[in-house]
Amino acid sequence: MKTKILVAFSILFAVAITTTQAQKLKKFGSSVEKKIGPKTIQVPYTDVISYLGYAAPDNEDEVKDDKKFYYIYVWVPLVAPEICVRMLSPVGKTKVKNAITAEAFTANKDSEDYFDTYITLERSDIISQDKITEDAVKNANWVTLASNDDSSEMPEQPSGSSYNSLLRYKSDAGNPTKALTAGLYRIGFTTYKRGEVKGTFLAEVAAPIKLPGVVMAKTIEGLKKTL
């Protein structure tokens, strides 16, 4: 009997350890690689902004292609050579320094709900701060520059599946439609399968150079208050 209890405890402990490890993020590395001795490493991003949030059902910003999309807006004041976005759900015990923390996250930080993340990086045709209004954003021309569903660079979810997301987008300065110019961007996120999006999440936006003045917010009202 003692043996059975010990085995059961060992299994539960192993599951707990696995879940904790699944929430551990690696260093946020750029597409630039550097060789240090026999190892090749990704050079870490120098500018990272983190956002802790909670996606509630039936609170989506838009339904697109039969999927419920939520948005986080990002103002980029300078030309960027590369932008990376990654998303983790659930947040669990992941520790993040200096993160922008939504009230919804604080109220639901202990929630065990999570979702299969799918993310997009979208650029608008709004290039001036004084042009940012609710109506302008709604009627802006949004172009999807990149998207990602599952990334092996991200931790596994509690289910054991690699369903968290990471994308990198390099600017094509010679092509105006693909360049990372100054202006208003947004991170779109949903779940890969059609259905409700529910759970805590960590979203991070990074660049290989310091970009003073970058602002990140869940709403246009919140963005304008920070600008």
Confidence of residue 14 (pLDDT cuts 50, 70, 90): very low
Confidence of residue 22 (pLDDT cuts 50, 70, 90): very low
Detail the DSSP E strand segments found in the chain: 29-36, 39-44, 47-55, 62-64, 67-76, 82-88, 100-101, 117-123, 143-148, 165-170, 183-191, 199-207, 215-217
Alpha helices in 23-155 (DSSP H): 103-108, 134-139
Give SS3 for 31: strand
Detail the DSSP E strand segments found in 56-95: 62-64, 67-76, 82-88
Residue 34: how many CB atoms within 10 A of its CB? 12
Confidence of residue 23 (pLDDT cuts 50, 70, 90): low
Position 17 scores a pLDDT of 40
Percent of the chain with pLDDT over 70: 90
**Full set of structural domains in the chain with CATH:** 2-226 (2.60.120.380)
Position 160 scores a pLDDT of 96
Q: Using the predicted structure, report yes or no on whether residue 46 has a pLDDT greater than 60.
A: yes
Average pLDDT over residues 115-142: 98
Position 41 scores a pLDDT of 82
Beta pairing, strands 100-101 & 47-55: parallel
Confidence of residue 31 (pLDDT cuts 50, 70, 90): confident
Position 34 scores a pLDDT of 81
Reference 53, options 98, 94, 96, 108; nearest CA is 108
Position 83 scores a pLDDT of 98
DSSP state of 130: G
State pLDDT tens for residues 84-99. Answer: 999 999 999 999 999 9
Position 101 scores a pLDDT of 98
Percent of the chain with pLDDT over 90: 78
Position 33 scores a pLDDT of 80
